[in-house]
Amino acid sequence: MEAEQLGRLIDSQAAALVLYARQWCASPEDVVQDGFARLASRMPDDPLAWIYRVVRNRAISVGRSERRRRHREEQVATQTWFVATPGDRLDAVAATAALAHLPDDEREVVVAHVWGGLSFAEIGRLMNSSAATAHRRFVAGLSNLRSRLETSCPPIHPT
């Protein structure tokens, strides 16, 4: 498509396309910009119908992605780290709260090691530190958990 023709189409339709895309997604400006970028390298028979179809399809796709991401984020935000079972000596709600109050680096190591099953060497690579640093953070995290829970947790031996 010629630059002048594309410019006229952008000037006359961009605002309407943003409004059109907004019904499906939260980032309609990006969708419209992407549509015009794709149009620049094509010469469809009916550019106006083509751009509306492209913007519609992309906005629906982006909207689905946004909803899936929100759903995952909501699940993680309400996730509990411990599951209470009958006969537990550890209060799952208190343990989850204690874990949430750990410093980020300690919590990351505890979760990666206990629930993820990662070794301290793997955690060190993940966090750009040494295995020894990962182990120290793990020990510090367990110590903080013990003091917050005011209970004695059995020691977990490094793997």
Q: Is residue 55 part of a domain?
A: yes
Q: What are 47-54's contacts with CB under 8 Å, separation 24+?
A: 47/1, 47/5, 47/9, 48/9, 48/13, 51/9, 51/13, 51/17, 52/17, 52/20
Are 63 and 39 in a shared domain? yes
- CB neighbours of residue 89 within 10 Å: 7
Q: Is residue 84 part of a domain?
A: no
Q: Which of 95, 13, 85, 5 is nearest to 53 (CA)?
A: 13
Of 17, 43, 77, the residue that ends a domain is: 77
Q: Is residue 159 part of a domain?
A: no
Q: Is residue 144 part of a domain?
A: yes
Are 50 and 107 in a shared domain? no
How many folded domains does the chain comprise? 2
Range of the domain at 7: 3-77
Written as tens digits, the pLDDT of the chain (159 aa) is 688 888 999 999 999 999 999 999 999 999 999 999 999 988 889 999 999 999 999 999 999 999 999 888 777 666 666 666 666 666 777 888 888 899 999 999 998 998 888 999 999 999 999 999 999 999 999 999 888 887 655 555 555
Are 30 and 68 in a shared domain? yes
Of 48, 77, 106, the residue that ends a domain is: 77
d(C-alpha 53, C-alpha 79), whole Å:
39
